[in-house]
Amino acid sequence: MLISIPMIQRHSGAYKLLAAIFACSPFGSFIQAEDRPNVLLILTDNQSYFELSCHGHEQLQTPHIDRLASESVDFVNFHAPPFCSPSRTALITGRYALRAGVHNTVGGVSILHKSERTIANYLGEAGYRTAIFGKWHLGATHPHHPNNRGFQEAFVHGGGGIGQLEDYYGNKHANATWDHNGEMVPSEGYSTDVLFSRAADFIKSSEREPFFCFVSTPATHTPYETEPRAAERIRKRGVEASSADLKLYSMIENIDENVGALMGKLDEWGLSENTIVILATD
């Protein structure tokens, strides 16, 4: 069963439901962990609902996400905090962000209270392997680091966006340095490519264990930086766009390319029929 739910916009109910179904008793006590569906959550940052060809954008081409949308329940009417950290708080806890002490993106009010439990906590306790790749933005140090919040594998950048405060000094989308389980490591390639590649490796290594894989891209947040292959395709189509728009479009189409590649891997590895895929915008 492949249940994909594209474009959930700042809403926590689906994740609270997932946590309840897959981790909590009494349901969880009746099935073995290896029988439970995998969960792949893909969250793109600051992407508009309309910045997909399936939602009416006339210049973008996002065929892989379009296909996912055609196979999915498409949630289009949700209400939640309008900032990154509060939105993510609601997303992974199933609670109003204010209850968890998060109501902005800076100044100490973007840090998830250490008493809060995340979907990664629940699923990890139910026998899932858990991982996050990309943007966290809910606390960078113990006890707020994702490794302290239920994620067994964490490959993240600091702060709210590439190159912002708390991120590794001088970072850009290409060839960035990341926090890998508390150790700073360099990468080669564009941020979205790096994150999806890491996620694919994690999923493949899970083998018989169920997994919760959270791919949280820093794209399409600023800084807008061109992804060369996608930008070349867009130019060849004759798209008329400003320099800033071309950068943004290339970031979006690069996300789409990576979504298609990862979905292909799920097919190749025989995981599609037992993986819930949720694609959302922040």
Could you tell me the residue ranges of all domains in the chain?
37-268+276-281
Average pLDDT value for the chain: 88
Q: With residue 209 as reference, give the H or E element that holds it.
A: none
Q: In what order do the strands lie in the sheet with 38-44?
A: 2-9, 275-281, 38-44, 211-216, 129-135, 153-157, 177-180, 183-186
Kindly indicate the confidence band of residue 76, based on its pLDDT and cuts at 50, 70 and 90: confident
pTM: 0.90
Task: Please choose, from the candidates 101, 91, 87, the residue with its C-alpha nearest in 3D space to the C-alpha of residue 41.
Answer: 91
In this structure, which amino acid lies at residue 13? Answer: G
Contact 135, 156 (CB under 8 A): yes
Tens of pLDDT, residue by residue over 221-255, are 999 999 999 999 999 999 999 999 999 999 999 99
Instruction: Check whether 110 has a pLDDT greater than 50.
Output: yes
120 Cα distance to chain centroid:
13
Q: What residues are annotated to the active site?
A: 84, 137
3-state secondary structure of 233: helix
Q: How far is CA 165 from CA 106, 134, 140, 171, 203, in A?
A: 9, 16, 11, 11, 31
Task: Among 3.30.450.90, 3.40.228.10, 3.40.720.10, 3.40.50.300, name the CATH number for the domain at 37-268+276-281.
Answer: 3.40.720.10
Q: What is the pLDDT of residue 34?
A: 53
Tens of pLDDT, residue by residue over 146-176, are 999 999 999 999 999 999 989 999 999 999 9
In the block, tokens 């992407």 appear at 47
Tens of pLDDT, residue by residue over 260-269, are 999 999 999 9
3-state secondary structure of 211: strand
